[in-house]
A and B are shown apart, each in its own frame.
Chain A
Amino acid sequence: MNTTWSRFNIASIVLGFAFLYLPIVLLIIFSFNASKLVTVWGGFSTKWYVSLFQNEALMDAAWVTIRVGVLSATFATILGTMAALALTRYTRFRGRVLFSGMVFAPLVMPEVITGLSLLLLFVAIGLDRGFLTVTLAHITFTMCFVAVVVQSRLVTFDRSLEEAAMDLGATPVRTFFAVTLPVILPAIVSGWMLAFTLSLDDLVIASFASGPGATTLPMKIYSQVRLGVTPEINAACTLLIAIVTVGVIAASIVNKRREVQRKLDEQAAQRG
């Protein structure tokens, strides 16, 4: 198959990746621009990073965002994993069609609709808008992404392992924690990371669900971007990109190591 990787294929990949990465690379380069004019190069400088850390409003927003992200991603992972288990393990229960609909629909639901409907719910039940409501909103829309990620791992899971454990007398709960969980853990971890990034990234739903005192970083960035492009925002974006990139690469290395270790263990077990 290698011989058929033609020049056309290589060109389309190179061009495609250039298109995907060039804007991000340019943004990073211009965050080190000494000139205040964002698109004119005026020499190298890190002064925007310094002023970024002195910008208290931005720092506060970043702190709120991280707390919302960690909290909502954790709850979303628990709920999403349960939803994935429900969808793959129990093929028959009352209202299953509605359930799977409610899991898949939020993946493509326009954010303005989700945001508006959640806001109206919070108003209807008399919940003051703020940190709690943003977190609840984020749990709701990110848990569905977790469910899909975990589900895709569960469908390829070998059920005979669980049956073996239960034949040997393990309770279902113990079986889950001793057998199922370790196997689907990589999917759960990437589900958590996906939920965290989605929460970190969300502007529209947060804007609807949030109230005074709970301004998230995207809301802050958005309000500044509307006034024009500034090098300080470029610097903030670069930092966010750096954090996410390091996180993703670290996670994939850990995942790979774990996979290699698992294969070695399996081989050892077969030999022994």
Chain B
Amino acid sequence: MADNASASAGPAGNNLISAITSRLVILVPYAWLLFFFLIPFFIVFKISLSSTAISMPPYTPVINGFSDLASKWHTFSFDNYVWLTQDPLYYRAYIRSVVIAAVATFFTLLIGYPIAYGMARAPATLRPTLLMLVILPFWTSFLIRVYAWIGILKPEGLLNQLLMWLNLIDSPLIILNTDWAIYIGIVYSYLPFMVLPLYSALEKMDYTLIEAANDLGCPPLGAFWKITFPLSLPGVVAGCLLVFIPAVGEFVIPDLLGGSETLMIGKTLWNEFNSNRDWPVSSAVAVILLLLLVVPIMFFQQAQAKAQEQGR
């Protein structure tokens, strides 16, 4: 544990205190995350190999300590995983979740990009206010923001009232309880996560490049695809990952806005756990979901680490 600060501190006592505090600063959060974040995953994995039992806790075998593990490990089985591949409900839910999250991420990018671009080109005095206006909805409850859309989207809701009053439609559109409602919900809830990284990438850009391209006869749209978009790519990647990864496992949005036949994997896991009380199967569902997301999560971490290096 290298502490460059301690080198400049004079007396030996200082060095000792410094060494102890530096160790504590690392060890305390490290231990906390190990215990409450990493170890739980191993427990989930262990339980995914157990079988359901009518008892409390509702699975078997229950392992108490390592000696127990040695005598009972042969009762572990991959039955739950086999079960997940046999019942089409599960793999359909996985595929649907990934597809819905991908489509919604694309829409979020499509809507978020012009907003971020407009903010980056706004007068410098206006930018802090605009930034706060983007962040403010994020501070208000996620559940409330999703809930607000129920009143808007339902058949006798405000959107249909408006459209019928404008004589644009004769009969109410059915949006609530369809995939469209889920797309709207995800785009709406995750929009700030897309706009913020895009904005910070676009704001740093040198816009004289565009002027130069225009002067040289490049049409504005061409200049956008050749200069602006490639330069904003780190923001695009960060924004898309910030939206896509949590959206795959999203529970609240498909539950409140999606129909009963829309099964996304977060909702499946929730039902399996809370309604069916099948802990081993829901653990297996979680393990597969995690495996599905490991690659994007690692991409995200690398992007974060890179951004941190550049911030230095």
Interface of A with B (CB < 8 Å)? Answer: 1-2, 4-6, 8-10, 12-13, 16-17, 19-21, 23-24, 26-27, 30, 38-39, 79-80, 82-83, 85-87, 89-95, 98-114, 116-118, 120-121, 123-124, 136-137, 139-140, 143, 147-148, 151-152, 155-156, 162-163, 166-167, 169, 171-173, 175, 197, 200-201, 203-204, 207-208, 218, 221-222, 225-226, 229, 233, 237, 240-241, 244-245, 248, 252
Select A102's contact among B38, B139, B158, B256, beta carbons within 8 Å. Answer: B38
By the criterion CB–CB under 8 Å, are A245 and B140 in contact? yes
B166 at the A interface (CB under 8 A): no
Q: Is B88 an interface residue (CB 8 A)?
A: no
State whether the Cβ of B234 lies closer than 8 Å to any Cβ in chain A: no
On whether the beta carbons of A111 and B301 are closer than 8 Å, the reply is: no
Contact B283 A82 (CB under 8 A): no
Within the complex, the shortest CB–CB distance from A199 to chain B, in Å, comes to: 11
Question: Residue B54 at the A interface, CB < 8 A?
Answer: no
Does B151 have its Cβ within 8 Å of any Cβ on chain A?
A: yes
Query: Interface size (B, Cβ < 8 Å)?
Result: 103
Residue in A4, A99, A110, A155 whose CB lies within 8 Å of B308: A155
Interface of B is mostly: helix
B118 close to A (CB within 8 Å): yes
Which residues of B6-40 have CB atoms within 8 Å of chain A's CB atoms? 6, 8-10, 14, 17-18, 21-22, 24-26, 28-30, 32-34, 36-40
16 additional A-B pairs beyond A5-B118, A79-B32, A120-B44, beta carbons within 8 Å, are A13-B118, A26-B148, A39-B151, A83-B29, A86-B26, A90-B1, A93-B26, A103-B33, A104-B304, A108-B300, A110-B246, A120-B47, A147-B29, A172-B18, A229-B150, A229-B151
Top 8 closest A-B pairs, CB basis?
A110-B249, A117-B40, A12-B114, A16-B115, A9-B118, A83-B29, A23-B148, A108-B245
Q: Which residues between 281 and 312 of chain B lie within 8 Å of chain A, taking CB atoms?
A: 282-283, 286, 289-290, 293, 296-297, 300-301, 304-305, 308, 311-312
Whole-angstrom distance between the alpha carbons of A166 and B49 in the complex? 55
Cα(A147)–Cα(B10), bound, Å: 30
Is there an interface contact between B293 and A110, defined as CB atoms closer than 8 Å? Answer: yes
Does B103 belong to the interface (CB within 8 Å)? no
Give A175's nearest chain B residue, CB to CB. Answer: B5
Question: Cα distance A94–B44 when bound, in Å?
Answer: 26
- What are the residues of chain B within 8 A of A95 when measuring CB–CB? 30
Knowing A110-B289, A116-B269, A117-B286, say if A26 contacts B32 (CB, 8 Å). no
Q: Which chain B residues (125-166) contact chain A, with CB distance < 8 Å?
A: 130, 132-134, 136-137, 139-145, 147-152, 154, 156-158, 161
Q: Are B118 and A16 in contact (CB under 8 A)?
A: yes
Is the beta-carbon distance between B5 and A20 smaller than 8 angstroms? no
User: A93 near B1 (CB under 8 angstroms)?
Assistant: yes
Residue of A nearest to B287 (CB): A113
Interface residues of B (CB under 8 A from A): 1-3, 5-6, 8-10, 14, 17-18, 21-22, 24-26, 28-30, 32-34, 36-41, 43-44, 47, 57, 111-112, 114-115, 117-119, 121-124, 130, 132-134, 136-137, 139-145, 147-152, 154, 156-158, 161, 188, 191-192, 195, 207, 241-242, 245-246, 248-252, 256, 266, 269-270, 273-274, 279, 282-283, 286, 289-290, 293, 296-297, 300-301, 304-305, 308, 311-312
Q: Which residues of B contact A24 (CB under 8 A)?
A: 137, 140, 144-145, 148
Looking at B14, B29, B154, B245, the one whose CB has the most chain A CB atoms below 10 A away is B29
Indicate which residue in B40, B121, B245, B286 contacts A1 across the interface (CB closer than 8 Å): B121
> With A110-B246, A163-B5 as given contacts, are A26 and B134 in contact (CB-CB < 8 Å)?
no
